[in-house]
């Protein structure tokens, strides 16, 4: 046949396919979510997230060393306190679990980049992401506690803070307090576009953060909505966010793409606990090729526009990149 244009020409060899690859990935874009809890000598596997663990502060260095050896140099801490109360006071306590984890990590691993999740749900007795007024989460009074939490993390050694609560105005409140206290150089990674998702189920078991009543639909976004996500992202840019995150990742690739096209900041995506658990469960049953699925999920997220990828598969992806199987 007389064909001038033959797309298959550029697929002829692995070398050629790699040369013309449109989506490229790097270990430097990976962030690993890590759960820290009270106690000593604790390294307990999370039942719904096979291969993921909760660590006490004394066991934390062993996992941080494994991450560093794998080539993952960024972690995000999630704290699990022993004591919870109505106002989540352990979230911003000087001797809180995340604050102690930060000091230990900073002392032993000065080259690691430490990010903290800023929210109240793991710390409140009712499991909601802020202060209650009756059965409603009171937005404005919650902002002060979120800002106080972020400041306490920075003072304990955090390089970056990541508010995930979905209160209106929290990025501005955090930015104002950090600047006021002399931390103008600390970036904010905002969970700007966070949907009320069924994909969070395993995380809530891992962090003990399920709400004791109701749900979080009055502050997390309705997953039917796309334009609302753009509204949230643009508002957080105006308030001083340095990175905008979309959460979850896999079912929201269209939103990642739209956010990427609309803003001039880096875009992060969080491949959440439900995505991880589904892959592990299906692989255990022999239904899927786990390694290939991990790679394909990651590539799809980067292809959609993500610059940064939070994933429980960070160590595996770093290895696959090192081996040239992905990247």
Q: What is the DSSP letter of 54?
A: E
CA–CA distance, 49 with 69 (Å, rounded to integer): 22
CA–CA distance, 172 with 175 (Å, rounded to integer): 5
CA–CA distance, 308 with 191 (Å, rounded to integer): 13
Q: What is the DSSP letter of 55?
A: E
Q: Which residues face 188 on adjacent strands?
A: 161
Q: Cβ(177)–Cβ(154) under 8 Å?
A: no
CA–CA distance, 160 with 242 (Å, rounded to integer): 10
Angle (CA) 26-18-294 rounded to 5° is: 50
Question: For residue 14, how many other CB atoms are within 10 A of its CB?
Answer: 9
Residue that is written with structure tokens 């006071």 in the block = 89
Q: Cβ(133)–Cβ(77) under 8 Å?
A: no
Q: Mention every residue, 6+ apart, whose C-beta is less than 8 A from residue 132.
A: 86, 126, 138
- N-to-C CA span, the chain: 36
The single residue of 27, 74, 84, 194 carrying the catalytic annotation is: 194
The single residue of 27, 37, 247, 280 carrying the catalytic annotation is: 247
Give the pairing type, strands 132-133 and 113-118. Answer: unpaired
Would you state the structure tokens that stand for residue 50, as one six-digit string? 């096979």
Q: Cβ(10)–Cβ(17) under 8 Å?
A: yes
Q: Using only the alpha carbons of the chain, give its radius of gyration.
A: 20
Is 247 in the active site?
Answer: yes
Give the pairing type, strands 43-46 and 49-56. Answer: antiparallel
CA–CA distance, 49 with 228 (Å, rounded to integer): 31
Query: Residues with catalytic annotation?
Result: 194, 247
């Amino acid at each position: 046949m007389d064909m001038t244009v033959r797309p298959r020409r550029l697929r002829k060899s692995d070398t050629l396919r790699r040369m013309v690859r449109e989506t490229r990935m790097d270990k430097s874009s990976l962030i690993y979510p890590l759960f820290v809890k009270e106690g000593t000598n604790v390294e307990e596997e999370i039942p719904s997230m096979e291969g993921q663990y909760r660590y006490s502060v004394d066991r934390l260095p062993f996992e941080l060393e494994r991450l560093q050896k794998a080539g993952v140099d960024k972690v995000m801490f999630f704290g699990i306190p022993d004591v919870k109360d109505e106002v989540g006071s352990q979230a911003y306590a000087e001797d809180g679990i995340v604050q102690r984890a930060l000091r230990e990590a900073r002392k032993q691993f000065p080259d690691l980049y430490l990010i903290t999740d800023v929210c109240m749900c793991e710390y409140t007795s009712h499991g909601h992401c802020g202060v209650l007024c009756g059965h409603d989460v009171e937005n404005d009074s919650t902002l002060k506690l979120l800002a106080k939490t972020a400041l306490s993390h920075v003072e304990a050694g955090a390089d970056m803070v990541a508010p995930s609560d979905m209160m209106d105005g929290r990025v501005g409140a955090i930015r104002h307090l950090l600047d006021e206290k002399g931390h103008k150089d600390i970036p904010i990674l905002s969970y700007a576009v966070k949907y009320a998702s069924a994909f969070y189920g395993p995380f809530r078991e891992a962090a003990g953060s399920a709400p004791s009543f109701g749900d979080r639909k009055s502050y997390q976004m309705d997953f039917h909505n796309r334009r609302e996500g753009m509204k949230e992202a643009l508002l957080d840019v105006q308030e001083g966010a340095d990175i905008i995150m979309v959460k979850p990742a896999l079912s929201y690739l269209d939103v990642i793409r739209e956010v990427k096209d609309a803003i001039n900041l880096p875009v992060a995506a969080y491949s959440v606990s439900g995505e991880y658990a589904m892959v592990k469960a299906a692989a255990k049953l022999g239904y899927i090729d786990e390694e290939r699925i991990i790679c394909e999920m990651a590539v799809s997220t980067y292809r959609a526009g993500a610059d940064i990828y939070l994933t429980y598969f960070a160590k595996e992806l770093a290895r696959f990149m090192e081996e040239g199987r992905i990247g």
